[in-house]
Amino acid sequence: MRIVYLLTSLGVGGAERQALSVAARMAGRGHEVAVLVLRPRLSEQWPTGLPTVHLEMRRNPASVLASLVRGRRFLREFRPDLVHSHSFHANFVARLLKLVAPEPVVLSTVHNVYEGGWPRMLAYRLTDGLSQRTTAVSEAAARRFVRVGAVPVPKCLVVPNAIESAEFIPDAQRRREMRARMRVDGEFVWLAAGRIMPAKDYPTLLGAFARVYAARPEVRLWIAGEGEPLRVLTAELGLDGCVAWLGLRRDMTALLDAADGLVLSSAWEGMPLAVAEAMAMEKPVVATDVGGVRELVGGTNAVVPCRDPAALAAAMLNVMMQPAAGRLALGHAARARIVDRFDMDARAAEWEEIYRGLLQGHAKL
């Protein structure tokens, strides 16, 4: 098969990482793969060894039109059998390109329960006929898109995110080295990961952590993510000495090793890879009950209501009060769940089967 993966950008986010991982697996399986990116190159983005073309699209009509022309030219030269697009902007552009380059099958993937308000949902509905199938990364995302009429039930399929679980294996030496580098010893360290944006709801996390810190002053919070730190709120809550804003990090495996647990305070999500990675690293997780979080953790970790600092704090304290052996047993169970249900080996085979089914169905039309 000849496959193009269409992304809005290669920014350091979960959707982009997931798409590139699937693309790399398809290339490894012998398929001809290319990556088409709407936006210009970023100073910080996921690396890929796959052939990649940036359409240099910017937010003005002339640039959008020029990018569509470049996209059409690329598709005609590469001659893909299938275009697999990810998230709203890329999904919408893939459908527009279908009007001028009708040969490839278009497959759309939504990565969150919320990809914008009613205008975007209307755009999905009006262009649905240009996409042969829409997949969602969680049952929760699929239910919402069907409920708002963005995707019809017969065309919606759930394909959960997956991770390269072999890359996320606990390492005691790496843990010691990272904790020494971060100057922590006996403190209990919570790690939060994700862009500093409304979806991640860091104000709720800081409110919860203030409660945790008041009860257990030996605790620390590391926040790894791109964006402007909430330093004013951190200071107002008296957390300056125990919260570290780490910025964008490329060493998440080492940070997970060094941490004692992962906390997710999101107001909305799709299927958060940070939670899956922490589970693979055998770390206890406390997460809000949004998107596909409950589907991901099963009964292995604590899930609490979103926008509720008190509930989040209580769950964090409960984890901290458990004996080390209890946390370790939960960690083993969590990793077993990831390896069994969310490993990229099985997911790549599932995607390949979906692609072949779509192409066979298209050939019969």
pLDDT tens for 275-288 read 999 999 999 999 99
Region label for 337, one of left (φ > 0), alpha (ψ between -120 and 50) or beta (otherwise): alpha
Please tell me the distance from the alpha carbon of residue 305 to that of residue 136, in angstroms, as a whole number: 22
Helices (H), 216-343: 231-236, 252-258, 273-280, 293-297, 309-321, 324-341
Q: What is the DSSP string of 131-175?
A: -SEEEESSHHHHHHHHHTTSS-GGGEEE----B-GGG----HHHH
Please tell me the distance from the alpha carbon of residue 332 to that of residue 337, in angstroms, as a whole number: 9
Q: What's residue 334's pLDDT?
A: 95
DSSP state of 81: S
Residue type, 278: A
Does residue 363 have a pLDDT over 80?
Answer: no
**Quick one: angle between helices 14-28 and 344-363, nearest 10?**
70
Instruction: Sketch out the chain's domains with CATH numbers.
Output: 2-162+343-363 (3.40.50.2000), 165-341 (3.40.50.2000)
- Evaluate the CA torsion angle 154, 155, 159, 160 in order and state its sign: negative
Please tell me the distance from the alpha carbon of residue 9 to that of residue 51, in angstroms, as a whole number: 15
Mean pLDDT of 208-225: 97
State the pLDDT confidence band at 361, using cuts at 50, 70 and 90: confident
DSSP state of 207: H
- Contacts of residue 3, Cβ cutoff 8 Å, sequence gap at least 6: 23, 26, 31, 32, 33, 34, 80, 81, 82, 83, 84, 355
State the pLDDT confidence band at 62, using cuts at 50, 70 and 90: very high
Please tell me the distance from the alpha carbon of residue 146 to that of residue 73, in angstroms, as a whole number: 33
Does residue 315 have a pLDDT over 90?
Answer: yes
pLDDT single digits (tens) 85-103? 999 999 999 999 999 999 9
Q: What's residue 23's pLDDT?
A: 98
DSSP state of 28: H
Q: What's residue 365's pLDDT?
A: 52
Tokens of 144: 């919402």
Pairs from 69-78 (Cβ < 8 Å, separation ≥ 24): 71/36, 71/97, 71/101, 72/97, 72/100, 72/101, 74/36, 75/4, 75/101, 75/103, 75/104, 76/101, 78/2, 78/4, 78/34
Q: In sequence order, what are the beta bridge partners of 23?
A: none
Please tell me the distance from the alpha carbon of residue 281 to that of residue 49, in angstroms, as a whole number: 26
Does residue 203 have a pLDDT over 80?
Answer: yes
Pairs from 356-359 (Cβ < 8 Å, separation ≥ 24): 356/1, 358/82, 358/105, 358/107, 358/132, 358/133, 359/1, 359/81, 359/82, 359/105
Does residue 119 have a pLDDT over 80?
Answer: yes
Please tell me the distance from the alpha carbon of residue 28 to that of residue 214, in angstroms, as a whole number: 51
pLDDT single digits (tens) 1-60? 999 999 999 998 889 999 999 999 999 999 999 999 999 999 889 999 999 999 999 989
Q: What's residue 75's pLDDT?
A: 97
- The percentage of residues in the chain with a pLDDT greater than 90, rounded to a whole number, is 95
Q: Give pTM, 2 decimals.
A: 0.92
State the pLDDT confidence band at 364, using cuts at 50, 70 and 90: low
Please tell me the distance from the alpha carbon of residue 364 to that of residue 320, in angstroms, as a whole number: 58
Mean pLDDT of 193-201: 95
Please tell me the distance from the alpha carbon of residue 142 to that of residue 121, in angstroms, as a whole number: 13
